[in-house]
């Protein structure tokens, strides 16, 4: 048996591909559901926190800053394990799917808030003053003048961070969420062969390469044009 034959037998065994592809497809569906939910809730919460912070109310800003610093500092896996195994001791029982969605949404929100906030403060103060001089209040100035410019500035770091956080759906395997990695590792344990894990890797490529390409297109679409 040649080296190539041994590689095929270990990673690309046809009968195992035929047996486990429905499980991998099921994992893809779960991964996509979590990823979409995380992106929607994480970005929305991050933007909302940045908007609240723009009012510069100290009692509101301090909890936001603490939240952002904590969730940017802690590894997502640590938070997932604390929430999944800690909340039942408080009488709160939620599914692994909900824990993964909640934690990744909070992590993305923390990074998104800081990115949105950086975009808001990067807009020159003269823009605020000019808008306010026309009679616009803070909310109108923020939504009509500042945010359109800030969001455009934020697109590159925001797309990169969003992709990085959504790939953490693989962490769901440690709490039994039936996403791609969980299906792949479970099938590998049952079969004693790495073919299901290779199938999981291919599934991630199929999902995230188009997402990365979309992110690059969005960055080019919203990039500032040179005069």
Cα–Cα nearest to 162, from 97, 109, 204, 86: 109
- The number of angstroms, rounded, from the C-alpha of 189 to the middle of its chain's C-alpha atoms is 28
pLDDT at position 151 is 87
Instruction: Dump pLDDT digits (tens) for 156-168.
Output: 888 888 888 988 9
Report the alpha-carbon distance of residue 68 to residue 108 in Å, rounded.
Answer: 10
- Is 126 part of any domain? yes
Reported as a pLDDT band with limits 50, 70 and 90, residue 227 is: very low
48 contacts 68 by C-beta, under 8 angstroms: no
101 contacts 30 by C-beta, under 8 angstroms: no
Sign of CA dihedral 65, 219, 29, 26: negative
Q: What is the mean pLDDT of residues 127-143?
A: 89
- Is 3 part of any domain? no
Across the chain, mean pLDDT equals: 90
Residues 6+ apart with CB under 8 A from 68: 49, 110, 113, 114
- Is 76 part of any domain? yes
- Is 110 part of any domain? yes
Cα–Cα nearest to 177, from 110, 124, 104, 125: 104
Q: Which pTM does this prediction carry?
A: 0.89
Give me the number of domains the chain comprises.
1
Cα–Cα nearest to 138, from 120, 122, 159, 156: 120
- Is 32 part of any domain? yes
- Is 77 part of any domain? yes
Indicate the burial class of 152 (C-beta count within 10 angstroms; 0-12, 13-18, 19 or more).
Answer: middle
Range of the domain at 25: 11-222
- Is 5 part of any domain? no
127's tokens = 């823009």
CATH of the domain at 112: 1.10.3720.10
- Is 6 part of any domain? no
204 contacts 25 by C-beta, under 8 angstroms: no
């Amino acid at each position: 048996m040649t080296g190539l034959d041994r590689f095929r037998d270990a990673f690309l065994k046809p009968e195992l591909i035929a047996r486990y592809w429905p499980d991998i497809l099921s994992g893809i569906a779960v991964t996509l559901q979590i990823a979409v939910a995380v992106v929607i809730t994480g970005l929305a919460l991050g933007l909302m926190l940045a908007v609240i912070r723009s009012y510069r109310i100290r009692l509101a800003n301090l909890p936001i800053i603490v939240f952002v610093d904590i969730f940017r500092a802690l590894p997502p896996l640590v938070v997932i394990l604390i929430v999944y195994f800690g909340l039942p001791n408080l009488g709160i029982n939620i599914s692994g799917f909900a824990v993964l969605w909640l934690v990744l949404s909070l992590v993305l929100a923390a990074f998104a808030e800081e990115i949105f906030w950086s975009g808001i403060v990067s807009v020159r103060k003269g823009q605020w003053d000019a808008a306010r001089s026309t009679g616009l209040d803070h909310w109108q100035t923020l939504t009509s003048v500042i945010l359109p410019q800030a969001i455009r500035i934020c697109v590159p770091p925001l797309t990169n961070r969003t992709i990085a956080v959504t790939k953490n759906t693989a962490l769901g395997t440690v709490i039994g969420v039936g996403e791609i990695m969980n299906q792949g590792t479970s099938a590998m344990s049952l079969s004693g062969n790495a073919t299901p894990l290779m199938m999981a890797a291919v599934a991630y490529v199929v999902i995230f390469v188009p997402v990365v390409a979309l992110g690059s297109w969005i960055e080019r679409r919203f990039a500032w044009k040179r005069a």
